[in-house]
Amino acid sequence: MFDGFTHTKAEDFINFVSELGLPDFVINCRADNKCIEDRYKKRNEVEEVPEEVQEELTQQEAVANEHHKAFESAYAQYGARINFVELQTNNSLETTEGQLSANFAPKVILVNHEKKLPVDTTCSNLAIKYNMIYLSVYQLIRQHIEEDTDMGRKLLASKQVKELELNINVKDEFGESEYSSVHYNLSLVMELIQQTIREKRTNQKYILLEGLCNNRKLLNEDERLELRHMDEMFGIENTIGEVVSVISFTFNFDKDYIEEHEIQYEVFPEPEQPVEPVKKPEGDDEEEEEEQPAAD
């Protein structure tokens, strides 16, 4: 990444970096004059921007525009091979970082599966086929602890064993019960994943992530409340990248429709018909009242 080149002309810098090959991205950072002046006043604790400073800012803007045109002209022939990013920096630092993350951070695909399904080979093949990075979090934690790395020692120091509800009839070949991320500090786990991605990532746009979001595996209700799904989701999106999809491997096939023979309708009893009163002939009321039997 080159920033703030020292060459007098943009063409000289373009010739310099051409020895390394074509860039993947050219980012043009922009801000409105009013925003720049406000930042100048805040940094220098003044109420007005001096005229000579305003002239200097105007000249800087003109030079920046010339440089931008030079970059566009030099790389226009390569079309979509080079991505030009217009980055508006008028807003807060958090907003700018969010825009950068949207352009450069990897997208995350979470893998959820039942314990009796061995998904390691399946995920590895998916990652190879579609040029993704596959990370199993508990395998990663186990590797660092067994190799006694700096991160492994930090994780081990933060370990607090929690009871997990895993299928005891299934072989736990990778030691998920012992090295699950729920036993360790979540910030350290995210830092470990970030570190691994930086070491392994070249041009991969997607990270296939397995071994997180273990809330449902915790036996203790209080521990479930401490480690909520959304806490882990926010942790992933704030430190690694946007979660764009979830893959769920289940033992039983889940249909997304209902067969006609599977539908059960509730049967309601037939409503009783009201009995209409019998009309009595006029003049016979007294005789009929004498003949009627007493009510039960």
What confidence tens digit (pLDDT) does each residue in 23-51 have? Answer: 888 888 888 888 988 888 889 888 888 88
DSSP letter for 269, please.
Answer: P
Q: Which range is most confident: 161-170, 240-249, 270-279?
A: 240-249
Q: What is the pLDDT of residue 167?
A: 61
Q: What is the pLDDT of residue 280?
A: 64
Q: What is the pLDDT of residue 241?
A: 83
Question: Across 72-132, where does the E strand assignment appear?
Answer: 83-88, 107-113
Q: What is the pLDDT of residue 112?
A: 81
Instruction: Grade residue 292 by pLDDT with cuts at 50, 70 and 90.
Output: low
Q: What is the pLDDT of residue 203?
A: 79
Instruction: Grade residue 281 by pLDDT with cuts at 50, 70 and 90.
Output: low
Rounded CA separation 62/128 (Å): 47
Could you report the per-residue pLDDT of 176-206, keeping only the tens digit for each? Answer: 777 888 888 888 888 899 889 888 888 788 9
- Residues of the chain with pLDDT > 70, as a percent, come to 84
Q: What is the pLDDT of residue 234?
A: 81
Answer yes or no: is pLDDT of 138 > 70. yes
CA atoms in the 13 A half-sphere facing the CB of 248: 6
Q: What is the pLDDT of residue 229?
A: 67
Instruction: Grade residue 264 by pLDDT with cuts at 50, 70 and 90.
Output: confident
Q: What is the pLDDT of residue 294?
A: 65
Region 98-121 average pLDDT: 80
Could you report the per-residue pLDDT of 196-252, keeping only the tens digit for each? Answer: 988 888 878 899 988 887 767 777 777 667 666 677 788 788 888 888 888 887 766
Helix, coil or strand: residue 196: helix
Q: What is the pLDDT of residue 101?
A: 79
CA atoms in the 13 A half-sphere facing the CB of 157: 8
With beta carbons less than 8 A apart as the criterion, state whether 151 and 188 touch: yes
Instruction: Grade residue 285 by pLDDT with cuts at 50, 70 and 90.
Output: low
Domains parsed from the chain with CATH numbers: 10-96 (no CATH), 107-249 (3.40.50.300)
Region 72-87 average pLDDT: 87
Instruction: Grade residue 172 by pLDDT with cuts at 50, 70 and 90.
Output: low
Q: Which of the residue ranges 76-90, 161-175, 201-215 would you say has the lowest mean pLDDT?
A: 161-175
Region 109-138 average pLDDT: 84
The secondary element (H helix, E strand) that includes residue 207 is: strand 206-210
The residues, ordered by sequence, that sit 6+ positions from 248 with a Cβ below 8 Å of its Cβ are: 112, 113
